[in-house]
Structures are given as C-alpha cells and as structure tokens.
Amino acid sequence: MEQRHLGTLTTSALGLGCMGLSQGYGPADDERSVRVIRTALDLGVRMLDTAMSYGQGHNERLIARAIAGRRDETLLATKFGIVRGPDGVRVDARPERVRADCEASLARLGTDVIDLYYLHRADPRVPIGETIAAMAELVQAGKVRHLGLSEVTADQLEQAAAVHPIAAVQLEWSLLWRRPEADVIPAARRHGIGVVPYSPLGRGLLTDSLTEADIRLSDFRSADPRFQGGNLAANRRQVAALRRFAEQREISAGQLALAWLLAQGPDVVPIPGTRSPDRLADNARSAEIHLGPADLRELDELLRADGWAGDRRSFAVPVTARHAPARATGSGK
C-alpha cells in the first residue's frame, strides 16, 4: 500500500480504526476481531488506532493479542484523556497523570514504545500546553515516538504546536462532515501536521449498506441527529447520488468516499473501522483509486457540503471535578 507522511511519521495511506471492535456498534466477537486486525496487516494497513478508553482497556489488549509476533509490521496509535469507568465517562488530561496513563497503555499493548500518542480530548481545566509538555517528556524518555491531538480547535492546535512538534490531528472528516475544512485542517497544514480522519465512511452511511437495525443497535448512530427522521431520509438521497457516481466508475460507494478523502492531500490518512474482513479488503482497494481534478469538481457539485442534514452529536465529555480549574494562560507554554 502507498505510504504517506504525518509530520515526520511514515505510515500506510489507510489505517484501521479499532474502536468498534470493543464498543459503540453492538456486541463484538474477539476471535473475528483478531482476524480483522491480522487481515489488515496482510493488506498493508500498518496503523492501528485505539485508545485507553475503548472498552476500558479491552481494545488495547485485543490489539496486543492480534499483533503478537508482528509488532514490526505495526504502527500503534493510542490515546489518553478520556477516562471510562464504572462511574461513567469523563475528560482528565492533567499533566501529573500523563505518564501513568501511558505506561498503562504500554502494558496493555504489550510493547515498550507507542508510535503515535494522542491527547484524546483537551481538558478545559488544563492549559493544553501543559498537557503537551508532559507528553513531550514521554518522547524524551523513549516511551512515545510522535505526538498527536484529537478533536481540538484550531487555536488549541496552534498552542500545542508551539510547545512540541505534533505529527497528526485526528478529527471527524468525510463527505458527510466537512466542517473541519474551514479551520482545523488549514491550521494543521500551516504547521506540517498530518490529518487522520475518523468515521471517514460517515459511521457507515457512505457505504450505502446501512440498515435500520444497524442504526438502532449502535449507540453512536442512534444518538446522532444525522441518522434520525427527516435528516436520515435526506442523507440517504445524498448517498444514492454517491452510489450512482461510484457505479459509473465500477467501484463501491464506500471506496469512492475513501478515495475522495485520499485525494484531499498526501498528508491525509483515513482510519475506517470495520468488523468485516470483506469490507476491510474493499476499503483497502480504495487506496488504488485515483480521482482527478475533474472527478473532484463533479463530486463537489453533486454532493454539496451543505446538502447533508443534521448536525453531528456533541462530543463534549464531562470534566472530572477532582482537580482545580486551570490557571489563566495565553499560549499554553
């Protein structure tokens, strides 16, 4: 598979988003999940994306099992900052907990270094520069190779980059959700930061294969306004147009959606998730599809960015009350 660059980090053009193997889309089968991860490696998909919060550590342990004996083929990306436990979900990215969270992830992943370590969510009570400075100590200690950020604003990205080089910013981006093109993505490119789109298939909507049961059984879909009532009906009409465009080129709707993202620049590495080896192979073939300027213009006219209905579900996560409000700060240094 084609190799791309996230800052100074080299990886495959596509990664595998592993969250759905542990949460969010109904019960999963670990044996099948292991096969999916190993199939991804067989197809040249190197980057496996996880987080300490996915399944309360289950996802990291699952990946460790799947890559046993194949660590050198794998680029491990994990995240901290969202804490999921018996008392619910919260954000806690205090500098004093960064090292312990990292070491816990290292143990679950069965490795001595994390290739790409993300701040999963910025903690509004902590200047982001202070969290990044603590993450930079992990790089100096050899526990982490590269730093990343997830779901941050353009201003937060700027503040973080002023403290330490950032390899990648992870965000929702797809034909269904293009709002980051207005601010975060330009900010990333000003600093040479790669872009890692999650939900690049619009939580499955852009594959043109979602059923009502798929939506009902998924917490992430059923709570998302884009999958409800009239919004869903309008969005299905958009997807039908996507399918027709894809059929003219003898590819699937999902392949077209991924190829569109890949065509947005060599600094873009989507991480579609799936529980199906067949879907995984379909996704991987999208890296071989070339969309030229005329194709992109036609798609923009056919699927206008403002033609989709419904805002995405809020990604706000409660902040722990067990630490004091942050001190006022400017750059976050």
pLDDT at position 233 is: 85
Among 25, 54, 117, 198, the active-site one is 54
CA dist 115 and 109 (Å) reads 12
Domain definitions of the chain by residue range: 3-201+261-280
Confidence grade of residue 149 (pLDDT, cut at 50, 70, 90): very high
pLDDT score of 108 more than 60: yes
The answer to whether the beta carbons of residues 54 and 23 sit under 8 Å apart is yes
Buried b (16+ CB within 10 A) or exposed e, 36-55: bbbbbbebebbbbbbbbbbb
Smallest CA-to-CA distance from 329 within 162, 191, 167 is with 162
Q: Is the pTM of this model over 0.85?
A: yes
pLDDT at 35 over 60: yes
Q: CB-hemisphere CA count at 13 Å for 212?
A: 2
**Cα distance between residue 76 and residue 41, in whole Å:** 12
User: What are the tens digits of pLDDT across the range 246-296?
Assistant: 999 999 999 999 999 999 999 999 999 998 888 899 999 999 999 999 999
Using CA atoms, how far residue 128 sits from 81, 90, 198, in Å, is 12, 17, 22
147 vs 319, residue with greater confidence: 147
Distance CA 185, CA 200 (A): 15
Active site residue 117: no
Q: What is the rounded CA–CA span in Å between residue 273 and residue 276? A: 9
- Write down the pLDDT at residue 174: 95
Residue 312 structure tokens = 């995405």
Return the CATH number of 3-201+261-280, one of 3.20.20.100, 3.40.50.10810, 3.40.50.2300, 3.90.1150.10.
Answer: 3.20.20.100
Model pLDDT, residue 224: 81
